[in-house]
Structure 1
């Protein structure tokens, strides 16, 4: 796991000082090493978190005319290396990233089909005069880029591009509306105009004239339903998932697991225990307030079942809120997912002794665990009336029409419908042969997963130099799960039917079949009293708030929460935007512990 950045100029020589400023903004992603390569108009940089081949895996790495910087892990690097050596390639390191160089040298862009893992990379081919950017199939690793008139910039994180941005960053109104309404913005547009995200499963070739040539090398739309019985599916899944887990456990450093009370992390714990024969280091989060129900007792029970070396992290409101500026800095784009805060504390604790952590992200999307996948046809029909073409899926934003009318400024009102567009586009792109359940999964896998869950899993963890691995998002597992019949996905009040039945021989049934619990964070309960009063005194007058919103409407929104109403989610978004302005527009970097009210000025 690393941070990468670079520049390709139309003419002239790349500025090493500017590259190093980008590297400084990515130092948290790679505290072990910094590598810079400048060759005329090309500049490449990597900050390295050493996971595999600790001594010799330095980047940028070269092979003849090819120069590479990469972030992530190629999990099948052992098998891939053997195949490449059999075709005559000679390796100089044991690094997994070197397989990208040799695979490209032999197969060009077709090499990406052979890579299993999570990755974002930049590869310069001096013979062709081209820079290739590539991103993994599901978008586990991030990659931003900006095509400016005189240069192409790219980086793992938005903050690295802003470190060399030629002007004051300007916000994209449609992306801001998405962030406020959906708690994340999705698609290629970032929150900052002219800065884009390379889509999952895509490459971008940039030639010497800075012309861009985009290509998809993998798509979920190619998955076809397969009418397997449970016994057939289980027989196929057992060796597949075992191999995926073995690959995800490849590391030259210690690793652990974030453990909740749910099915997904329980399955990972069972497999890790079985495959390693060692106690697994596990980490769970809970809350100090006795009135708040958390997952600690159930997580501790499953940890004991497998003899895990278990750690409980207990959080209170003040500590959580004081982590907010650092979490906003870590996530780059506005991400209003409450779960970023407890995830930050888990990452901080785990990073004291580990460099790698496995997490259960993707299990619900791949195996249909969410309640929203089980809505009936009449329920979907009614919801579809609100947003025609959406299939009745993800039609409602976090702000009601009344609040958007009174709080949004003119530019946001003009873009008010933007939050539904990505979901409608994804729903309509799904093949007609797919069921509504598969369409729901596909829509989430294209939007919510890469631009919320995986932002949290990558950026929040990397804020502490911790690599997150997500076995359920191996593309082979995703293709398997999406292709299952509805009968193996949902039934009655249960979702994730196949995974639960498959796991029964490893995990106690009472753990698998109890009612699903989300990753609960009690922000509505916390956003009261003195802190809320302090927020009400500052937020309406903040320059970023006045720029995009009606100050009187913002004040009314805050008073509603003070009177005991529930406008916490909307207020949370506005508070984050004000703090985001201080960090990304004014250029201040927060410590891990800060009073968030002091960052709203």
Structure 2
């Protein structure tokens, strides 16, 4: 057996298995997976609380088991070829098994350009697929695959309850989840943004451990935008943490892109990957484990897109049938696709919302619109964007990330709340904010949501943009998938109007990714590298 991740309830599972007569030879939580499978087969999976991806060979039944945790905190990929089946935690580990110039999947690529990430079974490399969150694969000796889902959020049903009833039910649940998550034989810290979710995590960590706690925040030099360093510093002082501030400038940001693109593995345009990489580098010097506040917005309905007005939803739904108007607008906005994309990409354009439509179609008919939107994010953007960002960029610095708000029990609780405890009076995360009032100041809890902003728009200009305009059209991947005139027009628009930064960054990151994984074998660039030298 090989495993990646943590089983947070390994202690309870081990004690139960020992009572059932199973003997352990190590203190590893991975052995708990093995003994649990011996006892219960694949029915052991619902008994495991944690973030994990593992492969287990069942010698008795001559079958290979691949399994991934419920939310997709840990990645797992597989590749099936004639007479061969391979699996890995990273695409780059499977890259050497592919052709010298592997084929790309047009549908996944168009999802990246439209949504900033691709989702579902298919990755951007045509021969490599994902094990989905909450899923188990059973591969027999003939290499035939059976797919088994052991956890499915569509089984959750929102039910009527008052705020007091929800608060009473949440207290023991949060205590249990935190008690399991803080089990560690090494020191741990927290990424602190100054927002509700990381602030709540800070309060919970201080409640569940006695020693000093390290916190880390990121901001920017000479940026024409606000960061959250002051709010984070205020929380750090309030809770008495050992606080570190990381500040980056435009050169730091751009020179981290090649390494971040390599570390992220998947082709994904999320600016927040860059500051996350710097936070991981700083924390990795001191720690092996760090907590984050990811998941609060998905589980408790914090995003503004969950509370759009009915007329706006109806208009978007009319323009993009089958989406309910959710995530339908896309990220590619200021450069007409028909002028920039190749014929192959234009032919695949219908796939851009495929996973959004599929998620909506799976949602139970008795769910309200808020829960449907939460679920759609839960099975698309959460595993294939947010958690990809966290896991890959932390693991690149040998740092383990823990996300208690994405424990499946917390997610089930959050989704099951009635709509009025999720959103009320234009405020999202109503329940979670009320819960956090015990520990956090009201002005922090109820200020407008800021998000994890990165000043790419204001920094993508000047000499760097001029040099990029000279080099980008010469990239092999850009020439294969985009029109030269369209690329030049997009770069010109950014130079003159400054509103095409998303499109330009998407092209830049794709060019680097193509050089690393299509033209190259996936070898790592330096941590600091001029992106112009990697396109």
By how many angstroms is 1:167 displaced? 4.3
The partner residue of 2:23 within 85, 90, 93 is 90
Q: Does 1:591 align with 2:487?
A: no
By how many angstroms is 1:119 displaced? 0.4
Q: Which residue of 2 aligns with 1:431?
A: 364
The partner residue of 1:153 within 66, 69, 86 is 86
**After superposition, what is the alpha-carbon deviation per residue over 1:456-498, rounded to whole angstroms, capped at 9, x for unaligned?**
1110110111001110110000000000001100112310000
Q: Which residue of 2 aligns with 1:75?
A: 8
Q: Quick one: higher RCO (CA 8 Å, sep 6+), 1 or 2? A: 2
Q: Which residue of 1 aligns with 2:183?
A: 250
Q: Distance in 1 between matches of 2:302 and 2:439?
A: 19
Q: Which residue of 2 aligns with 1:406?
A: 339
Q: Please state whether the residue corresponding to 1:344 is helix, strand or coil.
A: helix
Q: Please state whether the residue corresponding to 2:497 is helix, strand or coil.
A: coil
Check the 8 A contact 2:295/2:403 in 1, yes or no: yes
Q: Distance in 1 between matches of 2:498 and 2:220?
A: 23
Q: Which has the higher helix share?
A: 2
Q: Which residue of 2 aligns with 1:185?
A: 118
Q: Does 1:350 align with 2:275?
A: no
**After superposition, what is the alpha-carbon deviation per residue over 1:176-234, rounded to whole angstroms, capped at 9, x for unaligned?**
11111111000111110110000000011111111111110110000011111111111
TM-score (normalizing by structure 1): 0.88
Q: Please state whether the residue corresponding to 2:355 is helix, strand or coil.
A: helix
By how many angstroms is 1:417 displaced? 2.1
By how many angstroms is 1:127 displaced? 1.0
Q: Does 1:115 align with 2:45?
A: no
By how many angstroms is 1:589 displaced? 2.2
TM-score (normalizing by structure 2): 0.98
**Where in structure 2 are the equivalents of 1:175-324 lying within 5 Å?**
175-289=108-222, 291-324=224-257
By how many angstroms is 1:541 displaced? 2.0
**After superposition, what is the alpha-carbon deviation per residue over 1:285-320, rounded to whole angstroms, capped at 9, x for unaligned?**
000115331100001001111111110000101011
Q: Does 1:374 align with 2:307?
A: yes
Q: Distance in 2 between matches of 1:498 and 1:334?
A: 35
Q: Please state whether the residue corresponding to 1:98 is helix, strand or coil.
A: helix
By how many angstroms is 1:112 displaced? 0.3
Q: Which residue of 1 aligns with 2:504?
A: 571
Q: Please state whether the residue corresponding to 1:284 is helix, strand or coil.
A: strand
Q: Distance in 2 between matches of 1:402 and 1:261?
A: 35
Q: Distance in 1 between matches of 2:50 and 2:331?
A: 34
**After superposition, what is the alpha-carbon deviation per residue over 1:41-99, rounded to whole angstroms, capped at 9, x for unaligned?**
xxxxxxxxxxxxxxxxxxxxxxxxxxx11000000000010000000001111111111
Q: Distance in 2 between matches of 1:599 and 1:442?
A: 37
Ranges in structure 2 where 5+ consecutive residues have no aligned partner: none
Check the 8 A contact 1:279/1:306 in 2, yes or no: no
The runs of 4+ residues in structure 1 deviating greater than 4 Å are none
Check the 8 A contact 2:52/2:69 in 1, yes or no: yes
By how many angstroms is 1:421 displaced? 1.3
Q: Which residue of 2 aligns with 1:130?
A: 63
Q: Which residue of 2 aligns with 1:557?
A: 490
Q: Please state whether the residue corresponding to 1:590 is helix, strand or coil.
A: coil
Q: Distance in 2 between matches of 1:554 and 1:94?
A: 56
**After superposition, what is the alpha-carbon deviation per residue over 1:2-48, rounded to whole angstroms, capped at 9, x for unaligned?**
xxxxxxxxxxxxxxxxxxxxxxxxxxxxxxxxxxxxxxxxxxxxxxx
Output the aligned Cα RMSD: 1.0
By how many angstroms is 1:165 displaced? 2.6
